[in-house]
Structure 1
Amino acid sequence: MPGAAGLLLALLLSGGLGGGQEQQPQAHQQRGLFPAVLNLASNALITTNATCGEKGPEMYCKLVEHVPGQPVRNPQCRICNQNSSNPYQRHPITNAIDGKNTWWQSPSIKNGIEYHYVTITLDLQQVFQIAYVIVKAANSPRPGNWILERSLDDVEYKPWQYHAVTDTECLTLYNIHPRTGPPSYAKDDEVICTSFYSKIHPLENGEIHISLINGRPSADDPSPELLEFTSARYIRLRFQRIRTLNADLMMFAHKDPREIDPIVTRRYYYSVKDISVGGMCICYGHARACPLDPVTNKSRCECEHNTCGDSCDQCCPGFHQKPWRAGTFLTKTECEACNCHGKAEECYYDENVARRNLSLNIHGKYIGGGVCVNCTQNTAGINCETCIDGFFRPKGVSPNYPRPCQPCHCDPIGSLNDVCVKDEKRTQRGLAPGSCHCKPGFRGVSCDRCARGYTGYPDCKPCNCSGAGSTNEDPCFGPCHCKENVEGGDCSRCKSSFFNLQEENHKGCDECFCSGVSNRCQSSYWTYGHIKDMSGWYLTDLSGHVRVSPQQDDSEPPQQVSIRSVEAQRSLPQRYYWSAPAVYLGNKLTAAGGQLTFTISYDFEEEEEDTERVLQIMVILEGSDLRISTAQDEVYLQPYEEHIHALSLKEELFTIHGTNFPVSRREFMTVLANVKRVLIQITYSLGMDATF
């Protein structure tokens, strides 16, 4: 009978990525980074559930020619004893990873048929990506039926590959159709069963090569499925049948155990001479190396691309403008620094901020979702671009300035509070940055003096004449001279048929419009709030025959709508308009004198330079068979920069559309009484992405 062989087990653990056993060269700077294959065996923890001689001295014999009743030439039998002082009689499982010419050995099936079932488990002590498992036989045949398994937690194990003595047993034992010939794979996470490596020959030094990467569809640029399939911390080999040349059946054929030559059953066992584990740390394409930490005995990635963590699985502090992404062999994905204008070291990524284009990146574009935290120098905001309450950034001062925020100087007597206008983008009612919000009767940047029509700071009592309704240079002296549409001894009320007394109105009050059924009116304190839901907006031509739905923000409700010029050119004429939904239509008489406010920004085509552009804005109102429009306002904007456009709804700002004829008050109020369409046209000489 030919000689037997033991079992050598080698787990080649590699980062996959379609390189075979050789490390792929770095093709160019833009490719992802992947560390070299490491030998992990010497640092793994290895265990087994059975070892030869652990219960006392035990004889074992190699599988060689033997004839019962005849003397054995060159006897091949030895003793194994785990408690022996002779190292050659001890065969612990650690021999499989010490790199020496020793081996681990299981009990022979003479000790019981249950020793067909032996398990070896390796704990790599952290998660790696496995590419190859190479099993080499030592002084026993290769195992017949066995399963290679993986786990992340040593609790749930999943199969990598099944092995069976015959193709039929793939179906009967594992319920998997056999893969004939050399193993091949149709899917990235396919688990196959093969009999290719379970043949009885060779009896010694047989090898089993299992590739978890090569031959799979995404081997060159691994898919998420392949990366998940190859990730493991625990690797388990569940041996289920020793190759015995059917000697175990010979034992059952004998009714009297004394008739069985004991040397026959001592030949059949598993043995592992060496286990080599070659592997790659999981650094997600962001590290060239992952050396072993001598203190923790773990490998730690030397991260690049502004990534951090043991596995480079997160962006470093201050680099969260874009979400973390794994690199691939072909593409590197860097973590981008947040733009905190030098006022914060940390930030986080907010998907909602990114969707609404609220975060300014380091290139001056509103792309990404970085939100700065712990802003210094009294700054605040997504990019530390504004100031905390009680401070303001003066006009012309950049957020990059070392100390951009200055304290507000609000007079405690005349101010509503100690919070002033914080910066140019947050001006209110024409107030400049640093201006405080004054109580009635007070004025000035700091609200530290009496308003027109008031006297006697710090009490600021009303003068004899109204400051809003009189034309007196000093309303506190002389007889009161009222504005054209104002009356009363102190010029404090509108004349009949007029309303809305305002200091900036040179006539004092606006004329009522009551559709000819009355000439009596009074000021209304009803106001329109901000309509944030942008649902229902669409693009159209002036005739209204074309209707194109824009792209909406994913948030609920949508905060903005946008359309690319490419889409518009395909579906719309050269001139097209944003058309407002029903909430803006109908009787809007109470909006007279108010404001229509909207925010616009634009993107630019890839071939264009990132330079400032001029946008022309026009608003058209239609109603009661009239069409009125504003003159075109020009706005100078950088790409992605936002502009808040506020249009006062006053007749003097409108003309009959297509002419230079001014709109009368009657015509203006007639349109507001029954608004049919609100159209906004934003023109731009080159292609753009319009966001509204």
Structure 2
Amino acid sequence: MCIVLRLVDLFNRVCNPRMGNLAVGRPVQTISQCGSSSPERYCWPVYKMNRCVLHCEVCDASVLHRAHPAASMTDSPFKHPLTWWQSAQGVSIETLQLDLEVEFYFTHLIIIFRSPRPAAMAIERSQDFGRTWSALMLYAHNCSEVFDLEDGQSCTQKYSTAEPCSNGEVIYRALSPWDKLDPYRIDARVHLGITNIRIRLLQPQSCFCQQKLPDASVLTAHYAIYDLILKGGCLCHGHADQCVPAGDQQITHPPVKHMVHGKCVCRHHTTGDHCERCDRLYNDRPWQPANGLTGDAHQCVKCKCNGHAESCHFDKTAWLRSGQRSGGVCDCLHNTSGRHCQHCKSGFYRDSESPSTAPDSCRPCVCNRAGSTYCNPDNGDCVCKPGVAGPHCDQCMLGFWGFDEYGCKPCQCAGDCDPYTGDCMIRSLESDHNSTAENHLFRTEELFSALSHPDKCVCKQQELGNSKIFCSVKYVYAVKVRVLAAHDKGSHAEVDVKVLKVLWDNSRLRLSRGNQILYPESWTSRGCTCPVLFPGLEYLVVGHEDVKKGRPMVNMKSIVKPWRPSLSRKVHQLLKTKCS
């Protein structure tokens, strides 16, 4: 449970699985076992009537009640207090090794000997599954003689005497009870993590009373251990309170009561065998272990992906730019893009009728790729290349020909030309004897491109007259624009422009530099915007505001002139001084 727990008096809060004997349910490997090849007679000293005498029995690995296997070291000391492992007779060096399937936290080791404790012994561990080993502690009656070390932190004389002859203990603590180390910190893993532990018994010794008994040295020349307790728990960095079998452990090892398992059941939106990383969609800040001293769980934080991602990754640059508040970058789905999947990716636009979190909120654009330069991601409108027209930018404008990936080329004619070959197409006015002069004029004008020949559009544009006339019109904005494209919406036109400079703004529109749509009031059947606006050219536009619809308006009272700095200065002076 995620409550107050203890690991050498340090696991005081956050989540931590229960501690236990890591040796339970796992095989302890030894070099030898008494009676494994044939029955062996062995003895041990006992005191009777204040006299030391030998008591002898036979060890036979093939007979259950006479066998002393390694498993007897890890059975319950309460249910089976008188079972033990015993080495072969006459062995001087013996090794006990426990291999773990994953890395565990290890806090302390207790060995209870049935034979006299060895005069020299080493406890070693591996943190890389046996590839390399390091000594945790060396024990010897004389450290300088056995290990060429001074008695101190790495070697001690403690636990190296033969007395007591039986039930002598060896205790090793990974951390001192007085250490104030957060057990979840990464550097704590250096002290507490193990994958293997090895105990080397290097020098047997006899009890003092045995030394005067005949044949005692031969019959008692063995190691024997009642209990091996390797206290620890699964390594979860403070993010789990329960562990389950790791990998194929459940298959290779049948369930054993009180066995400590190695795979964490992670909380705090973490994942991995050791809860060592954040879950797929919870990488908005870097993974951290919990703090065992303050109790802060350091939970992983969910990325803000607007429902368009199943995973995200942590980006250090984004984290630093945000002032270490947010560093998640979403792995976007559903044709979305952006750090938070807040945009539609190129070639898609946002469907205004669908919620922004809906999987189908980004719809594919229907713009012709060859004829368009851009699909507006907000509404799907196509921005056509020069000379290209149509809602999908899939045909040449009137007066243009040769549709390809570069757009359409202007006709080199006084009139229209074939849209595929560029050949000029001229019709005679006398070909229709029933038409009126006005209709003749109209049909003739239809042959001309309004963009190439704007004089053929019937538009009477406003001129820049004297200051009284200019001010009486009460213009509300003056801007420098570049015309990007024009769209025939049937009942009206929309002209996409890029505002390059705001000279005057007395409207409620709050015009600024960037893309903007102008709405011409006059849109003729000949494809003219009145006043005429050419895609690709820059203009000075002085106009009014459609108050009801809140948008910039261009009409026959507007001033639309090809951009000249001198003209803009004149307009700016009139608006600032004469009309104020």
Whether the TM-score (by the shorter chain) exceeds 0.5 is: yes
Alignment of 1:400-479 (within 5 A): 400-411=357-368, 415-416=371-372, 420-423=375-378, 433-443=379-389, 446-447=392-393, 461-462=410-411, 475=454, 477=456
- 1:146 aligns with one of 116, 121, 126: 121
Q: Residue in 2 aligned with 1:56?
A: 38
Q: Does the 8 Å contact 2:11/2:183 carry over to 1? A: no
Q: Does the 8 Å contact 2:105/2:189 carry over to 1? A: yes
Q: CA deviation at 1:478?
A: 6.6
Q: Does the 8 Å contact 2:116/2:207 carry over to 1? A: no
Output the CA distance in 1 between the equivalents of 2:179 and 2:166: 34
Q: Does the 8 Å contact 1:471/1:481 carry over to 2? A: no
Q: CA deviation at 1:34?
A: 1.3
Q: Does the 8 Å contact 2:120/2:141 carry over to 1? A: yes
Q: Residue in 2 aligned with 1:323?
A: 286
Output the CA distance in 2 between the equivalents of 1:219 and 1:503: 67
- 1:288 aligns with one of 241, 256, 269: 241
Larger radius of gyration between Structure 1 and Structure 2 = 2
Determine whether 1:173 maps to 2:130: no
Return the TM-score normalized by structure 1.
Answer: 0.53
Determine whether 1:368 maps to 2:324: no
Output the CA distance in 2 between the equivalents of 1:142 and 1:410: 87
Output the CA distance in 2 between the equivalents of 1:594 and 1:503: 7
Output the CA distance in 2 between the equivalents of 1:459 and 1:309: 58
Q: Describe the shift of the 1:366–1:279 C-alpha distance in structure 2 as closer, same or farther (beyond 3 A).
A: closer
Determine whether 1:106 maps to 2:80: no
CA RMSD of aligned residues (A): 4.7
Residue by residue over 1:408-443, the C-alpha shift from the partner in whole angstroms, topping out at 9 and shown as x without a partner, is 23257x8236x61334xxxxxxxxx52324121135
Structure 2: gaps spanning 5 or more residues: 254-260, 416-448, 464-479, 485-497, 502-511, 514-563, 575-580
Output the CA distance in 2 between the equivalents of 1:594 and 1:478: 25
- 1:385 aligns with one of 316, 322, 342: 342
Residue by residue over 1:628-673, the C-alpha shift from the partner in whole angstroms, topping out at 9 and shown as x without a partner, is xxxxxxxxxxxxxxxxxxxxxx979x99xxxx999xxxxxxxxxxx
Q: Residue type matched to 1:96 in 2? A: M
Q: Describe the shift of the 1:104–1:421 C-alpha distance in structure 2 as closer, same or farther (beyond 3 A).
A: same
Q: Residue in 1 aligned with 2:269?
A: 306
Q: Residue in 2 aligned with 1:230?
A: 192
Q: CA deviation at 1:164?
A: 1.1
Determine whether 1:192 maps to 2:154: yes
Residue by residue over 1:291-329, the C-alpha shift from the partner in whole angstroms, topping out at 9 and shown as x without a partner, is 447834444312101112222222222222233222231
Q: 1:131 aligns to what SS in structure 2? A: strand
Residue by residue over 1:241-276, the C-alpha shift from the partner in whole angstroms, topping out at 9 and shown as x without a partner, is 11225899x89xxxxxxxx93233322321011223
Q: 2:309 aligns to what SS in structure 1? A: coil
Q: CA deviation at 1:474?
A: 7.1
Q: Does the 8 Å contact 1:165/1:199 carry over to 2? A: yes
Q: 1:290 aligns to what SS in structure 2? A: strand
Q: Residue type matched to 2:85 in 1? A: W
Q: Residue in 2 aligned with 1:82?
A: 61
Output the CA distance in 2 between the equivalents of 1:456 and 1:95: 92
Q: CA deviation at 1:146?
A: 0.7
Residue by residue over 1:362-383, the C-alpha shift from the partner in whole angstroms, topping out at 9 and shown as x without a partner, is xxx972133314x02x323433
Output the CA distance in 1 between the equivalents of 2:40 and 2:192: 39
Q: Describe the shift of the 1:197–1:454 C-alpha distance in structure 2 as closer, same or farther (beyond 3 A).
A: same
Q: Residue type matched to 1:48 in 2? A: T
Q: CA deviation at 1:147?
A: 0.7
Identity of aligned residues (%): 26
Q: 1:229 aligns to what SS in structure 2? A: helix
Q: CA deviation at 1:118?
A: 0.5
Output the CA distance in 2 between the equivalents of 1:212 and 1:234: 14
Q: Residue in 2 aligned with 1:512?
A: none
More strand by share: 2
Q: Does the 8 Å contact 1:391/1:406 carry over to 2? A: yes
Q: Which sits farther off after the overlay, 199-208 or 239-248?
A: 239-248
Q: Does the 8 Å contact 1:143/1:198 carry over to 2? A: yes
Q: Residue in 1 aligned with 2:297?
A: 332
Q: 2:187 aligns to what SS in structure 1? A: helix
Q: Residue type matched to 1:47 in 2? A: Q
Q: Describe the shift of the 1:265–1:482 C-alpha distance in structure 2 as closer, same or farther (beyond 3 A).
A: same
Output the CA distance in 1 between the equivalents of 2:32 and 2:383: 83
Output the CA distance in 2 between the equivalents of 1:366 and 1:41: 44
Q: Residue in 1 aligned with 2:202?
A: 240
Q: Does the 8 Å contact 2:8/2:175 carry over to 1? A: no
Q: Describe the shift of the 1:49–1:483 C-alpha distance in structure 2 as closer, same or farther (beyond 3 A).
A: farther
Q: Residue in 1 aligned with 2:171?
A: 209
Q: Residue type matched to 1:382 in 2? A: R
Q: Does the 8 Å contact 2:117/2:160 carry over to 1? A: yes
Q: Residue type matched to 2:328 in 1? A: G
Q: CA deviation at 1:192?
A: 1.9
Q: Does the 8 Å contact 1:23/1:36 carry over to 2? A: no
Q: Describe the shift of the 1:402–1:222 C-alpha distance in structure 2 as closer, same or farther (beyond 3 A).
A: closer
Q: Does the 8 Å contact 1:286/1:307 carry over to 2? A: yes
Output the CA distance in 2 between the equivalents of 1:476 and 1:454: 17
Q: Residue in 2 aligned with 1:14?
A: none
Q: Describe the shift of the 1:445–1:335 C-alpha distance in structure 2 as closer, same or farther (beyond 3 A).
A: farther
Q: Residue in 1 aligned with 2:493?
A: none
Q: Does the 8 Å contact 1:135/1:208 carry over to 2? A: yes
Q: Residue in 1 aligned with 2:139?
A: 163
Q: Does the 8 Å contact 2:111/2:227 carry over to 1? A: no
Q: CA deviation at 1:18?
A: 9.9
Alignment of 1:515-530 (within 5 A): none
Q: CA deviation at 1:401?
A: 4.4
Q: 1:43 aligns to what SS in structure 2? A: coil
Q: 2:266 aligns to what SS in structure 1? A: coil
Q: CA deviation at 1:117?
A: 1.0
Output the CA distance in 2 between the equivalents of 1:422 and 1:312: 40
